Structure formats: C-alpha cells, structure tokens
Chains A and B, each alone.
Chain A
Amino acid sequence: MTVQPPIAMLAELTHRCPLACPYCSNPLALQGKDGELDTETWADVFRQAAALGVLQLHLSGGEPASRPDLVELTSKAREAGLYTNLITSGIGLTPKRIDALEQAGLDHIQLSLQGTTADLADWIGGYKGGFERKMLVAKDLKRRGIPLTLNAVMHRHNLDDLDRTIDMAVELGARRLEVACVQFHGWAVENRAMLLPTREQTETAKRIVAEASKRLRGILAFDFVPPDYYADYPKACMGGWGSAGLNVTPDGTVLPCHAAETIPHLKFENVKDRPLAEIWTDSAAFNAYRGTDWLPEPCQGCERKEIDFGGCRCQAMAIAGDASATDPVCGKSPDHSKVEAMLQQAMAAGETGFTYRRMPPRS
C-alpha cells in the first residue's frame, strides 16, 4: 500500500514534570533525564520530520519547559519550517522565557487546565501553588496576544465544573477549548475507578458543549473528546495507525501513538539508529496496523471501517488482551461486556484517592 506522509509529530522532549497528574498519558515507566536526546539530535529530527511532510509540531512532555534548551529547540523547529505548538502546564514559563519563545517564533500555546479552582486543580495536579502560577502565565499570554488553546482534561471530579471551565476559557482569551475527557492509557489506567465519569455526567457534558459551541461561535472554538467507554463506536485513534501522526519519546523512540509501547510484541525503532522517514514508511511497528487489510471481523464487514479503523489498538490490548482485536468500546465487539463490567466496577469502587504519576527512584 502507498504510505501517506504524516501531518503531525508529537515530540515528548522530556518526561520530567513538576506536576503529577494521575491521568498523564506518559507511560508508567517514565524515562529519566540521562536518556533524553540532546539539542542537536532533536533539531535534526525536526528537519527530518519537515522533509517527510510533517507540518505541525507539538512540543510536549512531561513538561517541555523542564528542558533548559526549549527556546533553542523552538527556534530550530521554526527554521525547519514547522508550525510550533507548545503543550505546557505553564510551570517554568517566566516572562523572560516567554519573551525568548516569542522571539524564536513560537506559534501557539496549549495550556493544560486541571481544575477551575486552586483547591481542585492543585489536588488533581499533585502540585501545590500550580494553579496560581498557571493563572499568572495565562494572563501574561493574553496580554501578549499569543494564540492560546486551553486544554481542560475532564473526569468525574471536574466535569461538573464544565460551565465554569468554558467561562474561564473565554476570560483568559483562549481561541480554542479542548474539552478532553480522560482517555484510559498510561497513568489513567491506574486511576480508572477514580476518573471515570458517570453516564449522567457524560450526557450533561455533551449537551453543555453542544450548547456552548453554538452560543460562542466566533468567540471560542471547541474540540470535544467524549468519554469513550460510554460511546457506541470507538474513536478513530490517530485517524488510523501510521496514517497522520507520530510520536517521538524523550530518548528518540518513534511510536505511532503515545501509548503504543503497551503493545508488547511490537519493536519500536529509534531516530538514533535509523532515519525517521524509513521508520515511518518501512518499520514493522508502523505497518502492523496500517490501513484496513489487517482488520478482524466484525470490523472487516462493517460500514464504519474507513471511519474508525477498528478503533484504538492500545485499548484493544488493554481490555481484550489482543492488539489486533476490535476495540472493545465498540458495541459490536465480542469483548464489549468487559467495558460494561469496568464501568460498573468503577462506579461501585468509591473514593480511593489518586495514584499520582511519579518518576522511578534513581538507581
């Protein structure tokens, strides 16, 4: 099959982060500082990505501002011709550093929001004082006119504040609000029972987003990621495996999505060993679930196979125990009852407290 070039690349510059969000999409086995790619290697990866067809670069982490060379990396990415988006908690962005990032040509900032009040946000983020500092950064970004998306990660403990979240996005001058309900990968799996929203919350959230996106048309654009365990059909993860995007981890491992390392039989290659274009086009991991030929039944005969490509491979792995199975979220999946059982268990579990994201102890 013909392989289309990727449009977007997520560069996980580091796994280090001052926050400890219990739904972090990073893997449970976080990488330490010592293995991180250096400035020049990242710059080379950015040039390779642009030559391959990548247009959008997401500078992410961990907290990308934990990298002392963030400004230089941004400037290298712009020189390579990439649209640069910084995905940040705001912690570590001093006014001086924001000056330098603007100078470097940073295009856009996506600021995470853990909650609408200091009490709630600092509890969820596991970082006292984080909310207050974030709000100072947000006001500074507004004053400067830097294009801003607010990324509100939503779950059972903050979905009831959705109206206030939307108001805050408008007040902070964001152009876009991502209402991103937690996806159960990485650390979120450890906290599933604490994070899963109720069905009622899910229905209310859908209604609120639909109403607000009409009311705020031309003022705030919405991206809504609904809680997928309640959906009838699975999400089209990454728009199809190896189709539109790729992810590079702090040590240079190239993944089709941020959770792909949970699929144990796949071997992922590294930019230190092989050109990015070859990894994208030829590597076994990227070709494992590309296109639709590999799809099992009931996907193969399904009218939605070109819409959701069988759903999320990592979710199939996590719930059905088989990465090539139909995503169990789908109502047609033979494993769908497992999702329903998980929902029931989560609702019955009660408040156990969060397992926060943490780095492994230094050896």
Chain B
Amino acid sequence: MQLELADDDRPFLPRGVRVIEDRVRGGKVLLAPEKAIALDAIGDAILMRVTGQARFADIVADLAASYNAPKDQIAADVQRFMIGLRARMFLAVQP
C-alpha cells in the first residue's frame, strides 16, 4: 500500500488514537492502542494541524508560514512523519 500523502489527502487520527497533555512528564503524547509516543515540538505542531478537514497541502502551507521555512523542506518532513504514523496505523487518510 502506498503510504505517501497526496496534496489533497486529508489525514486524521483514527478512533483509538489521540494526543494528550502529559501531566506528569510535561509535553504532549500520542496515545494509540498499547503505545504511547512522546511528541517533540515538531510532531506536536504537525498533529495540531491534523483535523480531518485540513488537506496535506494546507498543513504544509500553514507550517511553512508559521515557521517561516521553505515549503519543500516542510513538505518532506511532514511526509516522513506521516508515513511513519501510517505504517503503524496511527494515522488514516481520506481523499
């Protein structure tokens, strides 16, 4: 299965996957079936923009504007992050 996202794909966190505040250690954690993954600032910034409505291209554009960074580089980073999550079934996509 092709895991790369197209510009128009709308990523979302499927049922059973959510981001929470870690009250004890600080920071954000991605909770998924039997897994807990501490998010760094970049992961948090990406997932904050994953709404189920936003398209991949929108997320990249928003991040590029917010961090004043080149779009191509952001797109590659977001793509890599999202492919990793999709391989573990932590992220799903609707066209």
Residues on A facing B (Cβ under 8 Å): 5, 7-8, 50-53, 55-56, 58, 81, 83, 85, 107-108, 110, 145-147, 149, 175-176, 216-221
Contact = CB atoms under 8 A, between A and B. Distances in A.
B33 interface: yes
B16 A221 contact: no
Contact of B34 (A51, A52, A108, A220): A108
Contacts of B14: 147, 175
A7 B17 CA distance: 16
B34 A221 contact: no
B31 A83 contact: yes
Contacts of B24: 5, 51-53
A220 B86 CA distance: 10
Given A107-B16, A146-B15, A56 B87 contact: no
Interface residues of B, number: 22
B18 to A, nearest CB: 8
A278 B34 CA distance: 25
A220 B16 CA distance: 15
A175 B17 CA distance: 12
Given A55-B22, A145-B15, A146-B15, A217 B87 contact: yes
Contacts of B89: 175-176, 218, 220-221
Given A50-B23, A147-B17, 6 more contacts: A56-B34, A56-B35, A108-B34, A147-B14, A149-B34, A220-B89
Contacts of A110: 33-34
Nearest to A56: B36
Q: For A56, A81, A146, which residue has the most chain B Cβ atoms within 10 angstroms?
A: A56
Interface in B1-42: 1-3, 14-17, 20, 22-25, 29, 31, 33-36
B33 A149 contact: yes
Contact of A147 (B15, B25, B29): B15
A11 B22 CA distance: 21
A110 B34 CA distance: 9
A147 B89 CA distance: 10
B33 A107 contact: yes
Nearest to B16: A147
Interface string B76-87: 000000000011
Contacts of A149: 33-34
A136 B31 CA distance: 28
A52 B16 CA distance: 23
B36 A7 contact: yes
A221 B87 contact: yes
B25 A5 contact: yes
Contacts of A176: 33-34, 89
B95 to A, nearest CB: 14
22 contacts: A5-B24, A8-B36, A53-B24, A53-B25, A55-B36, A56-B31, A56-B34, A56-B35, A58-B34, A81-B20, A85-B34, A107-B16, A107-B33, A146-B16, A149-B34, A176-B33, A176-B89, A216-B1, A217-B3, A218-B87, A221-B87, A221-B89
Contacts of B2: 218
